[in-house]
């Protein structure tokens, strides 16, 4: 079979479907997509609210809780305790399939009427870490997002298997770390950027591996006692380090700024693909035969994967978030943990097998068009069937979706084989991370069929300006826990938590001047930049390659081969 060039029905650009893509679609028993890869990604991410949290009542127990849905949302929203309980019957919302109406009209009605999970956390997280979202297996955590197997940590995004980690984005197997981005197997590391791995007691490093007691340096390997890339003796290192008392906020900022200026002297690592073979994309680790994959680990024979973590993701296409032992899945957002044969699903998983067009299906098999169904087989629109009835009816529904497709306001046609139409998105476009990858104004979003929401008004009585915080952590008394601090960036109020204060004292680090969301958002926006693929030319050998660095960000850059020769 030869490659084919198709026209995206959304953006009208041309995209190519390769022979191996056709083979995958045939294996999954789905037609080729009619949207290009970028438009497919944008549509999936428009269903993915990670960071926006609201206080609202549960529609079952009536108690207030923290939710991703606003109080005026048209959905029936339950708190995690109620949603995961047996106090309600999901099958009372079941209905017969109506062949006189398009499938997506019927599914939208079911979605609006069936209770949905107000914030995406599991039972352990619910008990000790309620102020988190898209998290699991947490203990004593606060304001963590898209995280799994974490203890005693706060203020971060995309973390796995960490303990006592604060103000950090993209970290795995780390402990006692602060203000890091892209870290792996580190202990007591502070202010690191790029990709710092297997390091101990290091400060303000970029692109370093297996370092101990290093400060303000870049491109180090298997090194000890370096300060701004200058080698010191052990005694000399600790004597020189006394000049940088990082318990002072002023000194901390001076050190961070000095390190960033120093890093500019060294070419950045052009690509992050450790232990990966035959892969394209950015930040792909321990993977094989993966095309156009981004910030994913342990992925094989897959394409268009974003944020797949931990255990392997195999033989899957167009997955945005989660993975964790996934096989043969297609066009899903936030789906994972021991799943296979899942197509066109959002926020589903936990031992789910053979599901089509589902929301919040968990621990079950053979679902089609279901919302919030758990531990049941052969279900269509939340109604149970026998195995034979299920197979017969789902075949008819697929055919019906082709003969009577859903057509949105812009004339885009949704037959069987397309993810949910944009008009079904449960969140405002600007509440989702689609707006970070594909920014749209309010007018542009509404023209595309999304809706846009104005920020929720939140009034705080500021009791202390960030300017009045003590410069040194030694001068911060317990009374700071009673203050509402003005954020230096957004001017909103925030509190220092007891867990945070204890950690900062133990690590001898200063109080923050910005609210948690401003700190997370700064690193998240850099994470989005890190996933870019920008054509560059090696300044040493002239080879063309792709990297996440623009010419302005890195005027001098090397291809991977030249970088390894020069640095490693």
For residue 43, pLDDT over 80 is answered with: yes
Taking Cα atoms as reference points, which of 337, 115, 317 lies closest to residue 326? 337
Taking Cα atoms as reference points, which of 417, 328, 473, 373 lies closest to residue 91? 373
SS3 536: strand
The phi-psi region of residue 478 (left if phi > 0; otherwise alpha if psi is between -120 and 50; otherwise beta) is alpha
DSSP strand E in 175-252: where? 175-178, 181-184, 196-197, 209-215, 221-227, 230-231
Token output for 487: 């954020």
- Average pLDDT, integer, range 386-402: 98
Residue with tokens 């034979």: 388
Residue 20 dihedral angles phi and psi, to the nearest 5°: -70, -25
pTM for the whole structure: 0.97
pLDDT digits (tens, 9 = 90+) for 136-174: 999 999 999 999 999 999 999 999 999 999 999 999 999
SS3 23: helix
Q: Give the number of other Cβ atoms within 10 Å of residue 241's Cβ.
A: 16
> Are 291 and 303 contacting, i.e. CB atoms less than 8 angstroms apart?
yes
SS3 229: coil
Distance CA 370, CA 114 (A): 10
For residue 457, pLDDT over 90 is answered with: no
State how beta strands 413-414 and 485-486 pair.
unpaired
What is the pLDDT, as a whole number, of residue 416?
98
Q: Give the number of other Cβ atoms within 10 Å of residue 113's Cβ.
A: 14
First to last CA, the chain: 42
What is the pLDDT, as a whole number, of residue 122?
87
Taking Cα atoms as reference points, which of 190, 188, 181 lies closest to residue 159? 181
Distance CA 552, CA 563 (A): 19
> Are 63 and 81 contacting, i.e. CB atoms less than 8 angstroms apart?
no
pLDDT digits (tens, 9 = 90+) for 426-448: 999 999 999 999 999 999 999 99
Q: How confident is the model at residue 124 (pLDDT cuts 50, 70, 90)?
A: confident
Give, as one character, the DSSP assignment of residue 414: E
Residue 95 dihedral angles phi and psi, to the nearest 5°: -150, 160
Mean pLDDT of the chain: 97
What residues have CB less than 8 Å from 10, skipping those under 6 apart? 35, 36, 39, 43, 412
Percentage of the residues of the chain whose pLDDT score is greater than 90: 97
What is the pLDDT, as a whole number, of residue 445?
97
Q: How confident is the model at residue 69 (pLDDT cuts 50, 70, 90)?
A: very high
What is the pLDDT, as a whole number, of residue 309?
82
Q: Where are the domains of the chain?
A: 131-263, 466-530, 534-567
């Amino acid at each position: 079979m030869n490659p084919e060039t198709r026209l995206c029905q959304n953006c009208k650009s041309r995209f190519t479907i390769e022979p191996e893509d056709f083979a995958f679609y045939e294996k999954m028993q789905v037609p080729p997509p009619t949207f290009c890869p970028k438009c497919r990604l944008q549509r999936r991410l428009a269903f993915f609210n990670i960071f926006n949290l609201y206080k609202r009542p549960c529609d079952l127990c009536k108690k207030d809780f923290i939710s991703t849905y606003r109080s005026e949302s048209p959905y029936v929203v339950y708190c995690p305790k109620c949603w995961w309980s047996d106090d309600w019957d999901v099958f009372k919302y079941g209905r017969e399939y109506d062949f006189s109406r398009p499938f997506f009209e019927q599914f939208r009605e079911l979605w609006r009427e069936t209770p949905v999970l107000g914030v995406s956390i599991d039972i352990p997280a619910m008990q000790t870490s309620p102020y988190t979202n898209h998290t699991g297996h947490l203990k004593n955590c606060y304001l963590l997002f898209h995280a799994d197997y974490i203890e005693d940590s706060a203020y971060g995004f995309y973390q796995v298997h960490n303990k006592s980690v604060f103000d950090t984005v993209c970290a795995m197997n780390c402990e006692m770390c602060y203000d890091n981005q892209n870290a792996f197997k580190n202990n007591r590391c502070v202010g690191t950027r790029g990709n710092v791995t297997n390091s101990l007691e290091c400060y303000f490093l970029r692109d370093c591996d297996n370092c101990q007691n290093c400060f303000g340096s870049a491109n180090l390997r298997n090194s000890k006692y370096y300060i701004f890339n200058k080698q010191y003796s052990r005694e000399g290192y600790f004597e020189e380090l006394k000049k940088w008392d990082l318990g002072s906020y002023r000194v901390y900022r001076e050190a961070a700024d000095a390190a960033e200026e120093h890093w500019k002297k060294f070419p950045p690592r052009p690509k992050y693909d450790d232990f990966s073979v035959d892969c394209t994309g950015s930040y792909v680790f321990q993977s094989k035969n993966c095309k156009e994959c981004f910030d994913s680990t342990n992925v094989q024979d897959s394409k268009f994967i974003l944020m797949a973590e931990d255990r392997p993701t195999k033989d899957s296409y167009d997955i945005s978030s989660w993975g964790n032992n996934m096989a043969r899945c297609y066009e899903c957002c936030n789906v994972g943990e021991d799943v296979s044969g899942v197509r066109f699903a959002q926020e589903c998983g936990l031992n789910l097998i053979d599901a089509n067009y589902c929301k919040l299906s968990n621990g079950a098999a053979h679902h089609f068009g279901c919302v919030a169904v758990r531990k049941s087989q052969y279900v269509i629109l939340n109604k149970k069937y026998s195995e034979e009835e299920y197979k017969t009816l789902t075949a008819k529904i697929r055919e019906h979706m082709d003969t009577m497709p859903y057509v949105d306001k812009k004339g885009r046609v949704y037959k069987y084989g397309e993810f949910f139409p944009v008009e079904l998105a449960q969140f405002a476009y600007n509440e989702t991370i689609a707006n970070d990858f594909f920014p749209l104004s309010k007018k542009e979003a509404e023209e595309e069929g999304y809706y846009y929401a104005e920020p929720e008004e939140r009034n705080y009585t500021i009791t202390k300006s960030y300017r009045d915080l003590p410069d040194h952590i030694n001068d911060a008394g317990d009374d700071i826990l009673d203050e509402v601090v003005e954020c230096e960036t957004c001017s909103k109020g925030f509190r220092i938590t007891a867990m945070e204060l204890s950690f900062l004292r133990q690590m001898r680090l200063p109080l923050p001047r910005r609210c948690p969301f401003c700190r997370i958002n700064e690193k998240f926006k850099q994470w989005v930049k890190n996933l870019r693929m920008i054509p560059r030319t090696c300044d040493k050998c002239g080879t063309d390659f792709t990297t996440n660095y623009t010419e302005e960000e890195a005027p001098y850059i090397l291809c991977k081969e030249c970088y390894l020769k020069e640095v490693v």
